[in-house]
Chains A and B, each alone.
Chain A
Amino acid sequence: MDYQLNHLKELESESIFILREVAAQFENPVLMFSGGKDSILMVHLAQKAFYPARIPFPLLHVDTGHNFPETIAYRDSLVERLGARLIVASVQEQIDKGLVKEEKGVNASRNGLQTSALLEALEEGKYDAALGGARRDEEKARAKERFFSHRDEFGQWDPKNQRPELWNLFNSKKQYGEHFRIFPISNWTELDVWQYLAMEKVELPSLYYAHKRKVFEREGTLLADCEYIEKRPTEVVKELMVRCRTIGDMTCTGVWMSNAQTTDDIIEEVATTRMTERGGRTDDKRSETAMEDRKKKGYF
C-alpha cells in the first residue's frame, strides 16, 4: 500500500481536524450557511467529521431577503435531510426595527447590512464560535486570515494583531463576550472545491450550472434581472445562458456567460478562466480594501 493522500483527501483531512477541534474546544458553535458551494462543502465535511452522529451545531443563515429562490429551496431540503436546526438572521427584520438603514439608489445592496444581523444573531444565541466557508485564495484580505480568528466583544477583527498559528495547535482562549470565526477550508482554492465536489458527487443548487436567465450588464458585470435591483434607463435586459460562480445576495452576485452543464464542465471552465470568482462581486469593487473594511467590522 502507498501511504500517500492526494491533495483533495489531505485538504479534507485538515478541514475535518479543524471541525472536530471546534466541537471539542467551544461550548456553543454555529455554522454559517449561505447556500453557496463553500458552505455546502462545509456541511459535507462536517457530516464526515462527526459520522455517525449528527452535526453537533446548528446552521445560521443570514438572510438579506434578496435571495435567489433556488438558494432557499436548496437550503430547506438540506436542513431537512440532515435533521439539523436552522437559525435565520433576517436583515429585513433589522430594517423593520429601524436598526439598520437600507441603501438607496441604483447600486443599493443589503450586503453590508448583513454584518449587523449576523452579530445580533451571534449575541442572541450566545455562540462562541462561528464557522465560515471563507477561503484564503478568494480575496487579498482573506489571504491573511487564521483558521481560528479572534473577534473582540464588538465582533471586530484586528488584522495587525493576530495570533500566530503553528503546526496544528489552535489557541481558542478568549475573554467573556468575545468569539471566534473559524475557517476550516482556508487552504482550498476554487478549483479544489469543484474537484472535490465532483469527486464526492455532491448535489448543488441549479444556479451553479448553465441556465437561461434574464440579465443586464452593469460596469462589466452581468446581473440577474430582479425586483430588488433598480435599473438605469440605459440598461437593457436580455436573455443569456449563464451560471453563478459564487452565490450571494441577488443585488451583488454577478453571473457569467457559460455553457457548463456538469461539474466536470465547471472544472474545465474554472481551470482555464482568467478571472477570479469574486471578479463578479460588486460588493468587493466598492474600494480597494472593501473586504478588509467590512471584515474588521465583523463581516464574514
Chain B
Amino acid sequence: MDYQSSELLRFTTAGSVDDGKSTLIGRMLYDSKSIFQDQMEAIEATSLRRGESEVNLALLTDGLKSEREQGITIDVAYRYFATPKRKFIIADTPGHIQYTRNMVTGASTANVALVLIDARNGVVEQTRRHAIIASLLQIPHLVVCINKMDLVAYSEEVYENIKEDFEKFAAKLDVKDVHFIPISALNGDNVVNRSEEMDWFGGTTLMYYLENVHIASDHNFIDARFPVQYVIRPYQEEFHDYRGYAGRIAGGIFKKGDKVTVLPSGFTSTIEKIDTIEGELQEAFPPQSVTILLKDDIDISRGDMIVRENNQPRVEQDIEVMMCWFNEKSLQPNGKYSIIHTTQEARCVIKDVRYRLDINTLHRDLEDKEIKMNDIARVVIRTTKPLFIDAYRKNRITGSVIFVDEGTNETVGAGMII
C-alpha cells in the first residue's frame, strides 16, 4: 500500500490575514480535499451570520471563541492534510499578537518555513522578521511565496525585483536552502497547478515543492546522542535481569555492538541489544524511539546521555544561548530559572545579557538590554550542573533549552545554544 512509504513534513506559515495566508492554507486544504463538507457548511453559516460577503476560511483555523469574536488568531493552530506522497502538518502562526512566541514555537519542529510576500508591497518588516526567525531556529528549508501576482498583472519584473531584494537581505542570514515561487493563492496559480499566466516561471508549483523537497537529511546522522528518558525494569520472571534504557535517538546512528560512553559518569560499555516490541534492531537512527541494553551493569538514569566514545558533546555549565523571551514579566538580570534540556532538568542563573537583537533590522543593541516579551537576546547562563550540549546549528535537539519561572511554573523563554 502506498501510504506505507509516505513521509511526514512539518511546515510553518506566518503572516497576517492581509498576506493571503488563510487563503493559501484554505486553497491547499481544499485542493487536497482536506476540508470536509460539514466543516465547510459550518463556516459558511458562521460567515453568513456575521454578515461577511465571502466564506471566511480563517474560521477553519481560528478555533477558539475569543479568536472568532475578535477575528484574530491568538495561538498556533495545527492543520493537517495529505497527498499520496506526503502527510503535512502546518503550524499556522499569527503575525501580530505574541508573534515571536508563536512563530518560534511553530518553527521549532518545522522542516520548511513558508514566507508569504504580498507582490504589491514587496519585502516588508514582517517578511524580514519571519526570515530572521526561520534562520535563528534553523529551519532547513525556506520557501518564499510571492503572492497576489494576479494584482501585479503577473509581472516577471515585479517578481524578480522582490526576489533580488529578499536575496540581498537573506545574505546576512544563516539560511541554507531558499526557493522562490510566484503564486496567486486566490486563483490557484502555481499552488497546486502550474500557472498559465506565468509561463516565464521555470520553477515548480508550491505543492510540488512541498511534496519533493529533500528532508531525509534534516536530522543529524553523524553525532550519536541518546538522552535516556526512562529505565525499563519489568520485574517479571521471564525478564528477570532486563534493564533497558528507553529514549528517542537525538542524533547519529547507533548499532548493535557499538562501543559507547555514558555521561556524566564516563563509564564505557557496548550495546548488547536495541530492543522494540517487534524484535531486535541492528541499528537505530533519529527520530526513532527505542530501548537500548548495554553489556555491562552500570548505573544509568533519566537525564544521562549515551554517546560514542570518540564523538562526545560538550559538557558545560557556562552556556551562551540566543534566547527568545515569552513572558510579560521581563527577564530578570541575575535571576534564577529552571531549565529543561533533553531529558535533564537543572537550575540556572542569568549571568549576562550580551545584546538585544532587533528582530526587524538585525541590529545588536548593546545599550538597552531589558529583555521584554517577544524580544530576542544573546545571553550567558550558568547552570547548577553540567549539561551535555551541542551547538543548536549542529543538532536542534541537544542544542535547545527552555526556561521555566520557578514561581509561576510558566514556560518563559526558549534558548538556542551557540
How distant is A238 from chain B, measured CB to nearest CB, in Å?
Answer: 23
CB of B302 within 8 A of CB of A144, answer: no
CB of B4 within 8 A of CB of A199, answer: yes
Is the C-beta of B330 less than 8 angstroms from some C-beta in chain A?
no
Is the C-beta of B346 less than 8 angstroms from some C-beta in chain A?
no
Interface-located stretch among B161-169, B235-243, B311-319: B235-243
Q: Within the assembled complex, what's the spacing in Å between the Cα atoms of A163 and B402?
A: 11
CB of A11 within 8 A of CB of B104, answer: no
Q: Within the assembled complex, what's the spacing in Å between the Cα atoms of A48 and B244?
A: 13
| In-complex Cβ contact of A143 among B6, B77, B238, B246 (8 A) | B77
CB of A189 within 8 A of CB of B248, answer: no
Against A, the Cβ 8 Å flags (1 = close, 0 = not) of B376-418 are: 0000000000000000000011001110100001110010000
CB of B7 within 8 A of CB of A4, answer: yes
Is the C-beta of A20 less than 8 angstroms from some C-beta in chain B?
yes
CB of A166 within 8 A of CB of B105, answer: yes
A175: which B residues are within 8 A, CB to CB? 409
Residue tally, chain B, CB below 8 Å to A: 80
Interface-located stretch among B11-19, B58-66, B146-154, B347-355: B58-66
How distant is B346 from chain A, measured CB to nearest CB, in Å?
Answer: 13
CB of A166 within 8 A of CB of B402, answer: yes
Known contacts A24-B230, A275-B38; A141/B63 CB under 8 A = yes
How distant is A189 from chain B, measured CB to nearest CB, in Å?
Answer: 5
Is the C-beta of B233 less than 8 angstroms from some C-beta in chain A?
yes
CB of B64 within 8 A of CB of A160, answer: yes
| In-complex Cβ contact of B229 among A13, A24, A192, A274 (8 A) | A24
Is the C-beta of A140 less than 8 angstroms from some C-beta in chain B?
yes
Is the C-beta of B289 less than 8 angstroms from some C-beta in chain A?
yes
| In-complex Cβ contact of B82 among A142, A166, A191, A292 (8 A) | A191
CB of A52 within 8 A of CB of B234, answer: yes
* Chain B residue, CB-CB nearest to A17: B248
Which A139-193 residues sit within 8 Å CB-CB of chain B? 139-144, 159-160, 162-171, 173-175, 186-187, 189, 191-192
CB of A171 within 8 A of CB of B216, answer: no
Against A, the Cβ 8 Å flags (1 = close, 0 = not) of B96-136 are: 00000110110011000000000000000000000000000
Which B20-37 residues sit within 8 Å CB-CB of chain A? 36-37
How distant is B226 from chain A, measured CB to nearest CB, in Å?
Answer: 12
Known contacts A167-B108, A169-B340; A143/B276 CB under 8 A = no
| In-complex Cβ contact of B6 among A6, A139, A167, A292 (8 A) | A6
Is the C-beta of B53 less than 8 angstroms from some C-beta in chain A?
no
Q: Within the assembled complex, what's the spacing in Å between the Cα atoms of A48 and B108?
A: 27
Is the C-beta of A262 less than 8 angstroms from some C-beta in chain B?
no
* Chain B residue, CB-CB nearest to A198: B1
Q: Within the assembled complex, what's the spacing in Å between the Cα atoms of A108 and B416?
A: 53
| In-complex Cβ contact of B61 among A24, A143, A189 (8 A) | A143
CB of B414 within 8 A of CB of A171, answer: no
B253: which A residues are within 8 A, CB to CB? 3
How distant is A18 from chain B, measured CB to nearest CB, in Å?
Answer: 10
Interface-located stretch among B172-180, B195-203, B280-288, B362-370: B280-288
* Chain A residue, CB-CB nearest to B228: A24
Q: List 6 A-B contacts (CB under 8 A).
A: A7-B8, A49-B289, A51-B277, A52-B234, A166-B402, A171-B402
Q: A4-B7, A53-B236 are in contact. List 11 more A-B contacts (CB 8 A).
A: A7-B86, A12-B289, A24-B229, A24-B343, A50-B246, A166-B105, A171-B409, A173-B338, A174-B409, A276-B38, A276-B39
Which 10 residue pairs spanning A and B have beta carbons closest together? Answer: A140-B63, A7-B8, A173-B409, A53-B234, A16-B289, A51-B277, A274-B37, A279-B38, A166-B108, A7-B87
